Chains A and B, each alone.
Chain A
Amino acid sequence: MLMFIFRRLIQTIPVVIGVTFVVFFIMQLVPGDPAVLLAGEGASKETIAGIREQLGLNRPLFVQYFDYLINIFQGDFGLSLKNSQPVLDEILVRLPITMELAFFSIIITIVLGMAAGIISAIKPYSLTDTSVMLVALFGISLPSFWFGLMLMYFFSVKLQILPVAGWDSILHVILPALTLGAGGAAIVARMTRSSMLEVIRQDYIRTARAKGLRERVIVYKHALRNALIPVITVVGLQFGALLGGTVLVESIFAINGLGRMIVDAIRMRDLPMVQGGVLFASMIFVIVNLFVDVFYRFFNKRIELN
């Protein structure tokens, strides 16, 4: 197991480097000369050359990339073009907010998704099952930004029981987390159901029945534990979609997290900020995936060896 964690950590390194590489080179796609952009309109040739020299833009791309890489590993994500403050400072202010939102959302994804999946699987092809799965199908088809607006309209404008936007109290968390978690919940529900139906057909469930156990014990003790193992992977993947989704949800609910920071930075053409934000979010996703893999491996070992 330790060996596995170690191997998996080693495998992560090229991915992390690859991500920095992609982010760096995407920024090279920017049309026009960054030095000209930085210097602003009407700047003299000397100013532009000065900026170029200062930022090392006149050096070969690979050298620039290695500098960039080294800076990142030293925690230097560059300066914001907007206010010349270190990008990392801004990220560290925004990150906790996004993580909080992501945490509540993933909880909704897991709890709502698994519960719905189990309810469906207990009586497959029943009316309950069909309705739950229909709702789940709608759930994966809803645009989160629309769903969020509709929730906002219903709960904040019509019923006026929840705040419209902002991030001050636990009440502010409910709608954004629901918006962000709903799509994942739908996917987890579908996965849980099919996994449960697969497990229910297994020989050991028949053994449990032959023992005279109650249906409830069979479902919750014998089937569920096995069925949830493959769902772990799906939850891990959903976490990625969810992190990406913060971009939309934070914009809708005016939450000053990492996602909104990235969108604002794109609008301002503040590229170091975009780079930093995307890179940070990707790193978090890579780490979460690492955990999920280890987790999955831990639970799946006995099944694999079976």
Chain B
Amino acid sequence: MSLEAKTEQQIVIKQSISHPKESKLKDFLSILMLNKAAMVGGIIILFYIFIALFAPLLAPFDPYEIKLENKLLPPSADHWMGTDDKGRDILSRILYGSRLSMGVGFAAVSFGSFFGIIFGLVAGYYGKWVDSIIMRAMDVMLAFPGILLALAIISALGPGLMNVTIAVGAFSVPLFARIVRGSTLEVKRLEYIDAIRSLGANDMTIIFKHIFPNILSPIIVQGTLRLATAILSAAGLSFLGLGAQPPSPEWGTMLSNGRDFLFSAPYIALFPGLAISILVLGFNIFGDGLRDAFDPRMKK
């Protein structure tokens, strides 16, 4: 890397610190526009949101209506993705299912980020024993491998989409808490926070009006990437029969059903899985792009 390029980066970083709001947003948007991958990710997400909003208008059939005379039809002009063992149109079910998958994803991440952000802010801002207690608790939550914490929670609360949302949300609390705490520590060190404090601002004002807006970017990046994982986890739990229950058109549930017909009608399992993969891919690409856009140091 040339010296020139280094100084250039430093300038970018300096600028983004000195003008926290406007120019940062503008910079961010322009970098995001340049990042083709992020654009692709964003378009995929918008496409799914569009489908979720207009599922009733887009779906050619009733997703719940059982027509046994139509069962296990392979993809055709009538049924683009075929029909399942009860003669329901898979395309229509997938379109409706987008509401469930994204709904659960957004709800779980909102829930998880809400608590994670509060824990992280409090731990980072107050430090000392408050920090120790909160962060050790977060370490404990992270000591559960993968979705096992979510499984334990569901085993207690019982199956169901609502409980899956809580379980998946709980599982992302420590991840948000860690990131928020780290960023809070960084922002807290900035001189202007001292200046505001010396002007007599109380802790709440400092935390929510001055620190929080400054740490939004890592939260948004993490939130986007967590959405991808949350959707995957929730679908996985439904696949195990612990989330949405049949006849719900939730994608994981549909996949679980399709598994019984893997030999005779593989398309029943193929399409819901494809729907999940592409949506998750969208969030992952978008999250990667956001990270590049927010953090010039991370750029190639």
Contacts and interface: CB of A to CB of B under 8 A. Distances in A.
Interface of A: 14-16, 18-19, 21-23, 26-31, 124-125, 137-138, 140-147, 149-150, 152-153, 157, 197, 201, 239-245, 247-248, 251-252, 262-263, 265-267, 269, 271, 274-275, 278, 281-282, 284-286, 289
Contacts, number: 162
B205 interface: no
B4 to A, nearest CB: 15
A278 B252 CA distance: 23
B281 A137 contact: yes
A201 B1 CA distance: 7
B124 to A, nearest CB: 21
A27 B149 CA distance: 12
Contacts of A146: 255, 269, 272-273, 276-277
B138 to A, nearest CB: 10
Contact of A248 (B152, B240, B300): B240
A7 B219 CA distance: 32
A243 B146 contact: yes
30 contacts: A15-B140, A18-B137, A22-B144, A28-B156, A29-B156, A30-B157, A137-B288, A140-B284, A141-B228, A141-B278, A141-B281, A142-B277, A143-B236, A145-B236, A145-B239, A145-B252, A149-B255, A149-B259, A150-B273, A157-B262, A157-B263, A240-B145, A243-B146, A263-B242, A265-B155, A269-B155, A274-B151, A274-B152, A281-B144, A286-B143
Interface residue SS majority, chain A: helix
A274 B263 contact: no
B131 to A, nearest CB: 15
B293 interface: no
A15 B151 contact: no
Interface of B: 1, 136-137, 139-141, 143-149, 151-159, 228, 232, 235-236, 239-242, 252, 255, 258-259, 262-263, 266, 269-270, 272-273, 276-278, 280-281, 284-285, 288, 300
B147 A244 contact: yes
Nearest to B228: A141
A187 B203 CA distance: 39
A243 B145 contact: yes
Q: Which residue among B137, B148, B153, B272 has the maximum number of chain A CB atoms within 10 Å of its CB?
A: B148
A27 B156 CA distance: 5
Contacts of B235: 143, 145
B146 A153 contact: no
Contacts of B240: 247-248, 251, 263
A275 B144 CA distance: 12
A262 B144 CA distance: 14
Contacts of B159: 266
Contact of A285 (B1, B144, B263, B288): B144
A143 B158 contact: no
B275 to A, nearest CB: 10
Given A243-B146, A247-B240, A143 B273 contact: yes
A201 B300 CA distance: 12
The 5 closest A-B pairs by CB, nearest first: A244-B146, A146-B273, A18-B140, A243-B145, A240-B145
